[in-house]
Amino acid sequence: MYGLVDGNNFYVSCERVFQPRLEGRPVVVLSNNDGNVVSRSAEAKQLGIPMGAPFFEVRDLLRRHQGHVLSSNYPLYGDMSRRVMARLADHVPGVEVYSIDEAFLDLHGLTTFCGTLDARAHRIRQDVLACTGIPTCVGLGPIKTLAKVANRLAKKYPELQGILRLDTEARRERALRALPAADVWGIGRQYAAKLQAQGLTTAWQLAGISEAWARQHLGGVVGWRLVQELRGQPCQGLHPSEDGTLARQSISCSRSFGQRLTAFDDLWGAVSTYLSRAAEKLRAQHDQAHILTVFISQDRYDTRLPPPYTRSATLTLPAGPTADTLQLLTYARHLLAKLHEPGRRYVKAGVVLDGLEPPGRGQQLSLFAPAASAVPTLAHNARAQQLMVSLDALNRQFGRGTVRPAASVPPPAAAGQPAPWLGRAEHRSPAYTTRLEDLLVVG
């Protein structure tokens, strides 16, 4: 059996741990740049506020009902997630961290020594709530997709007390008939529209489609595996790693700006900031990247602008894979120079690192390098690697961004002012658990 543990309204719950006055009130957390609603309390959902709603559309509604608005506080949410996952790891032999607020649990064999799975799930919920303050729901099933289905329904129906187990054919059928097809794990907006057009509205109907139709309309073999799992046939297992996380197959970092940017130097400051963060994540999972992509975007809602609104450039690194921030920045600047058009007003930028692999598999040198100096030597690589180790150690000890590339530092003319590419966060709460100055003081 597998379990799927999901934090209820996770971002809102993290905020309520440190602000109990928010209990019982409509609360929403906004996306980067205070644009859209990305987390809602139960009270906000009851007001009819949909996920992804633009903040300006729901501002007055929240004000009328004494609601509360918060900007995203990702350092806080990430640290609270780490604490939740650590508690889960104390209860089961294996954990697959699926997202910041979700984890699959390996429950095989536990009933022999630990009583019923329902009792174990209740203990897990109680322990996580007591130790972290985060309420959760637990779905139990013989297959990961069915555990996900059970979790969905456990959150939807309060009478289930946060736990649902699908361990019989009768329970599986009843659950699939109750779950809309659009809510099935892996069914996005486009697939949901295709299913709706075919009259397939429930997960039970989805489980009955043919292999040919699934392969043609639901992404090939991936869609067919999803259908098989809904039928009770396992197609995937747990994927835990030594540190409880899964290595990413690609790493991206992008943000919307707090203001429209036109100057190349401002765009370069944003790209260098995002690339530094992506490279840090790359080194944290002990990988290197073969491929670098840079993109910049204009406002797609500005009817005066012709498409395309987003332009991107991709480069297969000529000197082989690397996790060296400085080397990646050199390539990124050339890519950005190709994309930037003077006079254009940009609202977003980002980077993507692909083709990830561990170091030590042999470096692929360029046969057509313009000069020997263009290809890093082994001695240079060793020095660069040591520099990155020192960079990461300093930032871990003194805080992220303590040591960073000069390009990501605002110009002297903006001394004391936030970087022009930083998004708006007018309602952000303190970083209660990750910043010494923000620790709560009890008087």
Domain ranges for the chain: 251-361+373-408
What's the pLDDT score for residue 122? Answer: 94
Question: What number of H helices and E strands is found in the chain?
Answer: 15, 12
Of the spans 102-111, 132-141, 376-385, which averages the highest pLDDT? Answer: 132-141
What's the pLDDT score for residue 396? Answer: 82
What's the pLDDT score for residue 362? Answer: 52
Provide the edge-to-edge strand list for the sheet that holds 37-40: 37-40, 27-30, 68-71
What's the pLDDT score for residue 235? Answer: 85
How does 6-17 read in b/e, with b if 16+ C-beta sit within 10 Å?
A: bbbbbbbbbbbe
What's the pLDDT score for residue 155? Answer: 93
And the tokens for 378?
């082994």
The band of 250, judged by pLDDT with boundaries at 50, 70 and 90, is confident
- Residues of the chain with pLDDT > 90, as a percent, come to 53
Q: Whole-number mean pLDDT of the chain?
A: 86
pLDDT at 339 over 70: yes
What's the pLDDT score for residue 242? Answer: 44
The band of 276, judged by pLDDT with boundaries at 50, 70 and 90, is very high
Taking residues 15-36, what's their average pLDDT?
92
Taking residues 102-127, what's their average pLDDT?
85
The band of 392, judged by pLDDT with boundaries at 50, 70 and 90, is confident
pLDDT digits (tens, 9 = 90+) for 66-93: 999 999 998 899 899 999 999 999 998 8
pLDDT at 399 over 80: no
pLDDT at 379 over 60: no
How does 77-90 read in b/e, with b if 16+ C-beta sit within 10 Å?
A: bebbbeebbebbbe
pLDDT at 279 over 90: yes
Distance CA 15, CA 38 (A): 14
What's the pLDDT score for residue 144? Answer: 93
pLDDT at 412 over 50: yes
Distance CA 147, CA 3 (A): 6
Taking residues 245-249, what's their average pLDDT?
64
The band of 377, judged by pLDDT with boundaries at 50, 70 and 90, is low
What's the pLDDT score for residue 111? Answer: 66
Q: Kind of pairing, strands 94-99 and 102-106? A: antiparallel
What's the pLDDT score for residue 365? Answer: 55
pLDDT at 218 over 60: yes
**Other C-beta atoms lying within 10 Å of the C-beta of residue 93:** 13
pLDDT at 1 over 80: yes
243 to 86, 87, 166, 190, 280: CA distances (angstroms): 10, 14, 29, 35, 17
pLDDT at 112 over 60: no
Provide the edge-to-edge strand list for the sheet that holds 251-261: 251-261, 346-357, 288-298, 310-316
What's the pLDDT score for residue 374? Answer: 45
Strand partners, 352: 252, 293
Look at 260 and 434; give whichever has higher pLDDT: 260
What's the pLDDT score for residue 373? Answer: 45
Q: How many CA atoms lie within 13 A of 87 on its CB side?
A: 24
pLDDT at 25 over 50: yes
251-361+373-408 maps to CATH 1.20.1250.20: no
What's the pLDDT score for residue 34? Answer: 87
Q: How many CA atoms lie within 13 A of 129 on its CB side?
A: 12
